[in-house]
């Protein structure tokens, strides 16, 4: 996957690589989706570990470290990172995979609460998801070449600037926009 990319990934190639036959993979995992999910879950774990490592060796600018870590990982593992989003499973997402995703979001949530301590817990979670989506959008356009194609050389700096905009705007605020209730 890391070498071929999601588009050219095949269960048979995996079987050959690990010295087993195709059938074994399907006996163990079940189907193709499960194979992808297993790979993507490992990617999520590595990604989360990378983010924690980035945070460990940084000082105050923890949100910036998070964004840098996001880009670092995506740029270092474009195919693995891409597979996370190129794969759309049909049917429900298994609980164990959702937990893996939640863990990644929890890291962001934790740091948002540090950066904006005045926010209510629920608002902090909403802001964390929003920041993650924002950075994801920039990274997606960066890695698929959209930014490069329109002559924008440093998407990472732009994403950092946007996050700064948002955090500056949020600081001192105790609640963020939310649906009517």
Partner DNA sequence: TAAAAAATTAGACACTGTTCATTTTTCTCG
Partner DNA sequence: CGAGAAAAATGAACAGTGTCTAATTTTTTA
| Binding footprint of a second copy on the chain (CB under 8 A) | 5-7, 82, 85-86, 88, 90, 93, 98, 101-102, 105, 125-126, 129-130, 132-138, 140-141, 144-147, 149-150, 152-155, 157-162, 164-166, 168-170, 176-179
CA distances 26 to 14, 37, 65, 83, 139, Å, are 11, 13, 40, 20, 33
Query: Which residues are CB-neighbours of 45 under 8 A, at least 6 positions away?
Result: 100
How far apart, in whole angstroms, are the C-alpha atoms of residue 92 and residue 75? 29
Q: Which is nearer to a second copy, 23 or 64 (CB)?
A: 64
CA distances 128 to 14, 34, 47, 133, 154, Å, are 36, 28, 17, 9, 23
Q: From the centroid of its chain, how far is CA 45?
A: 10
Q: Which is nearer to a second copy, 53 or 61 (CB)?
A: 61
Interface of this chain with DNA, residues 32 to 71, rule: CB under 7 A: 32-33
In this chain, which stretch among 10-18, 57-65, 76-84, 142-150 interacts with DNA, using CB under 7 A?
10-18
Q: Which is nearer to DNA, 20 or 98 (CB)?
A: 20
CB of 20 to DNA, least distance (A): 4
Binding residues vs DNA (CB under 7 A) = 9-13, 15, 19-24, 26-28, 31-33
């Amino acid at each position: 996957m890391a070498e071929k990319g999601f588009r050219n990934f095949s269960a048979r190639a995996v079987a050959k690589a690990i010295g087993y036959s195709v059938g074994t993979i399907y006996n163990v995992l079940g189907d193709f989706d499960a194979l992808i999910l297993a790979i993507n879950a490992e990617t999520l774990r590595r990604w989360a570990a990378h983010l924690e490592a980035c945070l460990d060796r940084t000082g105050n600018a923890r949100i910036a470290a998070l964004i840098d870590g996001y880009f670092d990982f995506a740029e270092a593992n474009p195919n693995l990172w891409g597979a996370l989003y190129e794969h759309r499973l049909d049917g429900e997402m298994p609980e164990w995979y959702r937990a893996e995703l939640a863990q990644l979001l929890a890291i962001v949530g934790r740091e948002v609460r540090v950066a904006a301590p005045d926010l209510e817990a629920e608002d902090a979670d909403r802001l964390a998801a929003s920041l993650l989506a924002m950075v994801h959008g920039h990274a997606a356009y960066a890695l698929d070449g959209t930014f490069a194609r329109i002559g924008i050389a440093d998407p990472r700096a732009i994403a950092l600037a946007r996050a700064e905009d948002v955090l500056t705007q949020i600081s001192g605020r105790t609640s963020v926009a939310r649906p009517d209730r």
